[in-house]
A and B are shown apart, each in its own frame.
Chain A
Amino acid sequence: MINYTIKRIFEVIPVLLIVSIIVFSVMHLLPGDPTLLMLAGAEGGSIPQERLDELRIIMGLNKPLYEQYYNFVTNAISGDLGTSIRLRTPVTEILLQKFPYTIKLSLLGLMIAIFLGVLIGLVAALFKDTWLDHISMTFSLIGVSMPIYWLGLLLILIFSINLNIFPSSGATGWKSIVLPALTLGFVSAGLISRLLRSSLLEVLNEDYIRTAKGKGLTDKIILIKHALKNAMIPVITILGLQFGNMLAGAVVTETVFSRPGLGRLVVNGILWKDYPLVQGTVLFIACIYVLVNLFVDISYYWFDPRIKLK
């Protein structure tokens, strides 16, 4: 058990390293002179060459690439992710301020996704081939086929503009998180419900279940509970992946609902050409995702004895 944990942690390190290389390259693969971009953004007009050179030295852009990369990594580990050009604040500060919003949204979205997904999938499987099944599966089909941003806008249209129940933007009060979380969760729910339905059908078909089907209602409920537990295994397996989908979906959702958060930072950062911000945020998100997956893998290993034997 400990061995597995250590092994997985060791495997994660080269991955994070490569991630950092990729993120580092973003800033350095850009066409154009980053110093020019930075100063042009901040001060406007034509800038004397000496100022550019001065800034180069301050930013360390005159050093060889590997040295810059080394500084980047060591700084990052110690918590220094540079300073945002546009916002004039250290990136780390910005991230620490904004990331709770995204995490809250993602977790709530995930809960909605699981709740909705399991419910729909369960109903569909139990009432297989009836109109309930068909409606449920249509629901999930629409869920995985529709653009998230459009769903967000639709929800705004219905619940904010016409019904005025929930706000369409901002992050104040619990009401503001409902629509964004629903948007995020709906797509994932579609996926989960399909998966649960086929998984549950498989489990329910097994012989030992069929022989038990002749029994009374309470027994049936116990049966369903048991089958559900087994059927949930593939769903739990993809939980880490679904969390990643939440993070990805947050990018668009936060924009649609004008909510502060990491996703919004990335999008704005790119539009403002604020590369330290983009770099730091992307690195942060990737690291979170990798660590969450690592955690999910290790705890899954703990719970499922079959994996232990592999």
Chain B
Amino acid sequence: MLSHRNKRLIRKFTRKRIIIYGTVLAVLVVLSFFAPYFAPYDPIQISMEGRKSPNVDHIFGTDRLGRDILSRIIYGTKYSLSIGIISVSIGLVFGTTMGVLSAYYGGLVDTIIMRFIDALLAFPGILLALVVIAVLGPGLFNVMLAVGISTVPEYARLARGKVLSVMQLEYIEAVHSIGGSNIRVILKHILPNISAPITILATLQVGNAILVGSGLSFLGMGAQPPTPEWGLMTAEGRNFMSQAWWISTFPGIAILITVISINQFGDGLREAIDPYLKE
């Protein structure tokens, strides 16, 4: 019933790494959808009592407005996960399209697109995202767009390289010989054959997108108060490090755990899918 190949795959997916981190991620996803059921307090409920250190009532303490940190972290899960997924999706779609068109049509199109990509790469890391924010203004969605745009060059380069090597293969010429249109070649023959490395790149990017995105929020360019976004929360506790270390520390731990889980899960997935893939 199941082909030999599928049986092997299933065996690999039950490896330790995937299970452990997959579970963590599953928990995070559940938290992002069902935050109200898990959070002990209302995340934006201000209390006159001000900041409190971690105690029995508030496991992670409260911030300077008396809001429970644990609840805020739970509610903030969805923002971080969204930033990761949506940014990467934006980058993937635009970047892959550019790379595919560049490689397929070649010539002037290729030169122009690739020079543009080179120019985007001239802005190191977060700087490109900052430029986009400068134009669009602060806000959570703008952060996703900004981070997405900053990931476009990597996809474009990867897609272009893979498409160029696929185009050397005869089955591409075969489609032309039977009368297939360019669209057919790109959609049915090129894209399926480059989807694996592109997907792998995407899994590598999600964690980084969350780091950059929350960084933008930390700088005040992303989510705005009172949104319980983890980067923003870290920024809010910045001036109280000596009096109330917990305000900044716990949101950071949350980001750390999330990104580690995503990276390790992605690593495990990649090993399962293609153990011969060399980095």
Residues on A close to B: CB < 8 A? 14-16, 18-19, 21-23, 25-26, 29-31, 141-142, 144-150, 153-154, 156-157, 161, 168, 198, 244-245, 247-249, 251-252, 255-256, 266-267, 269-271, 275, 278, 282, 285-287, 289-290
Contact = CB atoms under 8 A, between A and B. Distances in A.
Given A144-B263, A249-B125, A251-B127, A149 B218 contact: yes
B241 A161 contact: yes
A266 B130 contact: yes
B220 interface: yes
A26 B252 contact: no
A141 B125 CA distance: 19
A143 to B, nearest CB: 10
B135 interface: yes
Contact of B252 (A16, A154, A286): A154
Interface string B102-120: 0000000000000110111
30 contacts: A15-B115, A18-B115, A18-B116, A18-B118, A21-B119, A23-B131, A26-B131, A26-B134, A29-B135, A141-B264, A142-B260, A145-B263, A146-B255, A146-B256, A147-B256, A148-B215, A149-B234, A150-B234, A150-B248, A150-B252, A154-B249, A157-B241, A161-B242, A247-B125, A249-B125, A251-B127, A252-B126, A255-B219, A278-B131, A286-B127
Contact of B215 (A22, A245, A252, A266): A252
B61 interface: no
A267 B222 CA distance: 12
Interface string B202-235: 0000010001001100111100000000010011
Interface in B94-151: 115-116, 118-120, 122-127, 130-131, 133-135, 137
Given A145-B207, A157-B241, A289 B122 contact: yes
A141 B260 contact: yes
Contacts of A21: 119
Contact of A252 (B116, B122, B123, B219): B219
Contacts of B237: 153
B135 A15 contact: no
Contacts of A269: 134
B218 A146 contact: no
Contacts of A156: 241
A301 to B, nearest CB: 18
B271 to A, nearest CB: 14
CB-CB nearest 5 A-B residue pairs? A248-B125, A150-B252, A244-B124, A18-B119, A145-B259
A15 B119 CA distance: 5
Given A15-B118, A150-B248, A150-B255, A251 B260 contact: no
A149 B211 CA distance: 10
Contacts of B119: 15-16, 18-19, 21-22
A282 B166 CA distance: 38
A250 B133 CA distance: 18
Nearest to B210: A147
Most interface-central of B127, B235, B259 (chain A CB within 10 A)? B127
Most interface-central of A149, A154, A168 (chain B CB within 10 A)? A149
